[in-house]
Amino acid sequence: MILALPILIVAQTGRPFDAPALMATISSSQVNESSGIAPSRTYAGEYYTHNDSGDSARFFRVGPNGDIRGTYTLRGVQARDWEDMASARIDGKNYLYFGDIGDNDSKYKSVFIYRVEEPNGTGNQEISDFQKYEVKYPGGPRNAETLMVDPKTGDIWIVEKKTGSGSIYRLRKPGKSGSYKFERKGSISFPDGLAPMRVITGGAVAPDGKHLVLRTYAFAYEFPIPSKMESFLETTCSRIQTPPQVQGEAICYTLDSNKLVTTSEGTPCALWGILAR
């Protein structure tokens, strides 16, 4: 059976959001290219973030006031181009996922996703217990900056960063470290703004599994998830105004699923909140 792969041109419907409001500022120079963000499932009101390409394989825990409460490094890992992250509670455990999925020149035969059980404690820590997934795309290399995890299934979703129509890929819930393959599930495009502003630079699934958000350099777009994750491809969405940012990429939900949190590259790094009404 051949399934049609939809190209979605979005409409502007769905739940409304307030204007962006500044939550905190990360003043540490360690966070200079925040490219992914996700809420902690262990520490209320705290978040994790990581830098873009050029940094080591590390991530940071950020307190409500923007202070760095922990710096964590994956032992033996070379970060190529970390572009996005996610957090999810799967099988009773709190996990963080990191996508080494950037490939501006579309030259890598495979990309890497790391799954780490959320660490405890503060300060500098080196982590040696994690899963490493080496994943190939059907049809050759792709450049992506969006990684999402379905909290209901543990499946991992990737959205291609491409002017025009970006493909959407799923990796069914992986287990042990090893080699895997993505399956293509569809494609998506946005009509708002000049072409360079329409590329998809980040995304997240709400912890309650009822919505997901994708963002571009100009806006964010929230989609309802009526049933299965892929059903969002058949829905329309809310267009959300993001704050003025030099290069906004990272976005996530708060744990109650009612607010978006976004950051931008550069230092100091501002955390903005966008509340759903």
Q: Which residues make beta-bridge pairs with 149?
A: 156
pLDDT of residue 245: 83
Confidence bin at 12 (pLDDT 50/70/90): low
pLDDT tens, 155-209?
999 999 998 789 999 999 999 999 999 999 999 988 777 777 889 999 999 999 9
The model's pTM: 0.94
pLDDT surpassing 50 at residue 7 = no
Cα dist from 2 to 8, 166, 183, 232, whole Å:
19, 20, 14, 20
Confidence bin at 4 (pLDDT 50/70/90): very low
Pairing of strands 7-9, 183-189: parallel
Q: Return the residue matching tokens 């992506």.
A: 144
237 vs 6, residue with greater confidence: 237
pLDDT of residue 111: 98
CATH no. for residue 169? 2.120.10
CA 270 – CA 46 distance, rounded (Å): 14
* Exposed e or buried b per residue across 86-111, where buried means at least 16 C-beta atoms within 10 angstroms of its C-beta: bbbebeeeebbbbbbbbbeeeebeeb
Residue 1 falls inside a structural domain: no
pLDDT of residue 19: 96
Which range is least confidently modeled, 26-30, 46-50, 72-76? Answer: 26-30
Among candidate residues 82, 86, 80, the one with its CA nearest the CA of residue 33: 82
pLDDT surpassing 50 at residue 6 = no
Q: Which residues make beta-bridge pairs with 59?
A: 72
Asked if residue 214 lies in contact with residue 206, where contact means CB atoms within 8 angstroms, the answer is no
CA 111 – CA 229 distance, rounded (Å): 22
pLDDT surpassing 80 at residue 242 = yes
| H helical segments located in 28-92 | none
pLDDT of residue 133: 98
Q: Which residues make beta-bridge pairs with 239?
A: 221
Which residues are CB-contacts of 264 (< 8 A; sequence separation ≥ 6)? 34, 245, 246, 247, 248, 249, 250, 270
Asked if residue 216 lies in contact with residue 197, where contact means CB atoms within 8 angstroms, the answer is yes
Cα dist from 128 to 43, 88, 101, 132, 173, whole Å:
22, 20, 21, 11, 21
Residue 97 falls inside a structural domain: yes
Residue 105 falls inside a structural domain: yes
State the average pLDDT for the chain: 92
Helix, strand and coil content of the chain, in percent to the nearest 5, comes to 5, 50, 45
Domain count, the chain: 1
Q: Is 57 helix (H, G, I), strand (E, B) or coil?
A: coil
pLDDT of residue 13: 63
Residue 50 falls inside a structural domain: yes
Residue 67 falls inside a structural domain: yes
Confidence bin at 71 (pLDDT 50/70/90): very high
Residue 150 falls inside a structural domain: yes
Percent of the chain with pLDDT over 70: 95
Residue 141 falls inside a structural domain: yes
- Mean pLDDT of the 104-118 span: 96
74 vs 198, residue with greater confidence: 74
Record the tokens describing residue 175, joined without a space. 């287990």
155 vs 234, residue with greater confidence: 155
What range defines the domain where residue 163 resides? 7-275
pLDDT of residue 2: 34
